[in-house]
Chains A and B, each alone.
Chain A
Amino acid sequence: MICKMGCVLLFAAVVAAQGGGGFYAFPDRTPKTAIEKTVAKLLPSLVKVHGASGLKTIQSYSTGILVSDKGHVLTLDLILIQEERTKVVLHDGTVCQVEVYPADETYGVRILKIKDEDLKKLKQPLVPLTIAKEQKHRNGTFVVSIGNCFRLAEFSEKLSVTLGVIVSRMRSGLRYHLQDVDYGGELIVTDAPNNPGHYGGGLFTVGGEWIGLNTKIVESTETNSQVSAAIPTGELIGYIQRCITRGKAGAVEPERAVKVVPVFHGIELFDHGRRVSPPAYVERVARGSPGRTAGLRPDDLIVQIDRKVVHTCKDFNLIMEKYKPGQTITVTFKRGRKVSQTELKLAEVK
């Protein structure tokens, strides 16, 4: 991803040429094009976040987005945030101390609240962003991504802007630094470059709608390639609103009791692998079981369950863990050269 730096710097230069205040040395310029206007409108709502990190591999900086005029800043829960060391730098260069709210475990985001004494000192009112109403933009929609990549901007310097399109929406396994990430939600994949420090910044349409929060660069287990992705803002509304209305206490979500009930399908797979799991060939189907009723036979290759691909026996078992007894699943299987589908009603284990 570092090779994309050139592109990033180019756009940074474009942004740097416009607006600006404080001791920033370059002259102002009124925005002219659609992107320039959008960026000029958005920049006051984005802040630089500096945390404390003693580790080489973890950046101590990221970007945040103002979500309320009371000083709530949404950022990605990446840096080792310590309450007394964390600072937020507003677009005009003002440095503010923040209060750290508990993070949202599901999406890995965190709200920081600018301290009240710092809020009183501000000369200009804060400009919060609102979440876009229209969330389902088509693939191929132009987007701009704004963030403080590689901490190139300090104090009142302008953040970097990258341009791209929405590549796709993805719901696949993710990996970060060779470790699997437990994130079950949807991600917006873009080809707008995303680099360290850009994390926590925003993904906007060219019209200026806020549609995503940039994540760290993760690897998709589907493709083994890195993806620049953003969490759709629609998924974060609940956490943001709880934090704004109920403060620190609202950030912690009430625990939901999850009870795992094993399901019975009566299908035994030909799972002979020791380290590498083999394809999901059916070895035998128990008499009178849901699998037998569905018409599955030995030597069928199970290919998909509810449009989810089953590459190996391990995949089959993992997918089955997510179902409950009584649910009906669609099994796509291959017999000979023919691919067909059947409905299978899962039962309880007796």
Chain B
Amino acid sequence: MSHTLNVVAATLLAGALSAQGSPIRYDFAAMQNVLHAAMDKVGPSTVTVQTFGGTRKTDAKWQPKPAPTPGAKKPPGKKKPPPLGMSGFAQSHGATTGIVLSADGWVLISKFALNYDPTTILITLADGRSFTAVRKGEDVSRQIALVKVDATDLPVPEFVDPKTIKVGSWAFVLGRTFGAKDPSVHMGVVSATRRVFGRALQTDAYTSPANYGGPVVDIEGRVMGIAVPMDATGRKANIDLYDSGIGFAATISDIPQLIEKMKAGEILHRGYLGIDMDHSHLGPGAKISKVAPKGAAHRAGLKKDDVVVEIDGVKVENSFHLQMLVGIKMAGDSVYVKVRSKDEEYGLTVFLEKVPDAQMEAKKPADKADPDRLPWEEPGKGDKRPGGVPDK
């Protein structure tokens, strides 16, 4: 069966590539059947994720303007008004998608669903059964989260080894957001593999909250990854990347040991060495230009102007190569670093830490004014209503 599917896919791809003239038939009816067969194979494993309650977080870049304090001077310069609909844009309360990981109730969802810190997570299976889910671990670097429901005999999809995925093969993103019986499907191809330090593949199928958490499926109905809100550096994607043709899917089958950690409730982060590099130093080795105080490198004893020669036995070619070597690691991992300092080489072990929050998130404004607070409830004004009438 899989062989015939491949032949159909290959014919279609050839048809799409041959620009003009050559009499290759576009067999859309066959392609449609293949796509529907893939949907039928994975569809039962996709679930709807609904969340209730939680804090309403918006983008930290824009906050409501604080009330002007009397007597304060206006800051110089014109301030740009916040762009409507871009930053400061609240995430909707709509449903997202998830995928069954194992038959005994482990379900993988995107971290996007947990942005609100919801009090209740409701998982609705394809057959209509509903369960409340318990939050377990998360992988912040892959933007995925694991939840557990009290169910047995869930349909488990087939996962693909990410090493066998080829650029240009079909990729369909399934979602279960719009509440229909059939999963929604977006069509595209695999644009690139091993993106975001080998954590994700890139696809040109449109990804948005409509299918975040849903599986990215190949032509044979096997799961290649989970569509996640991520940008090229691995941070949380903003609304600009919705349906842009630049979508990322975290690959799953290559991280069984991390899944085990997540089942135990651990929250995993990317490993952070805590150095800045001199990118004008073209190698061999990567020259350290700055060491973050109290960072992992500082604690291990790396100094400014040291040149990192080797990481875990791999010769470092330049600063970019070092980024690639360290980027794969998770916080809590240790790396063996060989350093050349003033013509003297020595090795040391660095225990990587999680990236400090200040670097990952935009700076929070100093004034944390509660948007729900009424003017007479401002601190320092006393609990008096306007007109000096005390509140009874």
Give A residues with C-beta under 8 Å from B: 1, 3-4, 17, 32-35, 138-142, 164-172, 178, 189, 191, 206, 220-227, 274-276, 278-279, 301, 303, 307, 309, 311-312, 332, 334, 337-339
C-alpha spacing A169/B79, complex, angstroms: 43
Binds A, one of B50-58, B98-106, B152-160: B50-58
Give chain B residues whose Cβ lies under 8 Å from the Cβ of A337: 132, 150
Smallest CB separation, B342 vs chain A (Å): 51
B119 and A189 form a contact (CB under 8 A): no
Q: How far is the CA of A32 from the CA of B15 in the complex (A)?
A: 12
Cβ–Cβ contact A165 & B177, under 8 A: no
Determine how close the nearest CB of chain B comes to the CB of A71; give it in whole angstroms.
33
User: Do residues A339 and B94 form an inter-chain contact, with CB atoms below 8 A?
Assistant: no
11 extra A-B contacts, CB within 8 A, seeds A138-B182, A191-B206, A221-B92: A165-B186, A169-B178, A189-B184, A206-B28, A222-B95, A223-B94, A224-B209, A225-B208, A309-B179, A311-B50, A311-B52
Question: Which residues of B183-214 are within 8 A (CB) of A?
Answer: 183-187, 205-206, 208-210
Question: Could you tell me the dominant secondary structure of chain A's interface residues?
Answer: loop
Count how many pairs of residues, one from A and one from B, have CB atoms less than 8 Å apart in the complex. Answer: 141
Query: For B210, what are the chain A residues with a Cβ–Cβ distance below 8 Å?
Result: 167, 220, 222-223, 225, 227
Which residues of B lie under 8 Å from residue A189 when comparing CB positions?
178, 184
Q: Is B244 an interface residue (CB 8 A)?
A: yes
C-alpha gap A198/B35 in the complex (Å) = 27
Question: Smallest CB-CB separation from B52: which chain A residue?
Answer: A279
Supposing A191-B186, A339-B122 touch, asked if A17 and B20 sit within 8 A by C-beta, the answer is yes
B39 contacts A139, C-beta separation under 8 Å? yes
Q: Is there an interface contact between B187 and A191, defined as CB atoms closer than 8 Å? A: yes
Tell me the minimal C-beta distance from A38 to chain B in angstroms: 10
| CB-defined contacts of B205 to chain A, threshold 8 Å | 191
Query: Across the interface, which residues of B come within 8 angstroms of A141, CB to CB?
Result: 32
B122 to chain A minimum Cβ distance, whole angstroms, is 6
**Given A139-B185, A223-B208, A332-B130 in contact, is the A178-B84 Cβ separation under 8 Å?**
yes
Which of A35, A169, A191 is in CB contact (< 8 Å) with B180? A169
Residues of B within 8 A of A278 (CB): 53
A224 to B240, CA, bound (A): 12
Near A by CB (< 8 A), chain B positions 92-150 give 92-95, 119-120, 122, 130-132, 150
B26 beta carbon closer than 8 Å to chain A:
yes
Q: In the complex the two chains form, is A222's CB within 8 Å of B184's CB?
A: no
Q: Which residue of B lies closest to A278 (CB)?
A: B53
Q: State the CA gap A171–B179 with chains docked (Å).
A: 9
Q: Is the CB of A303 within 8 A of B245?
A: no
A276 touches B187 (CB 8 A): no
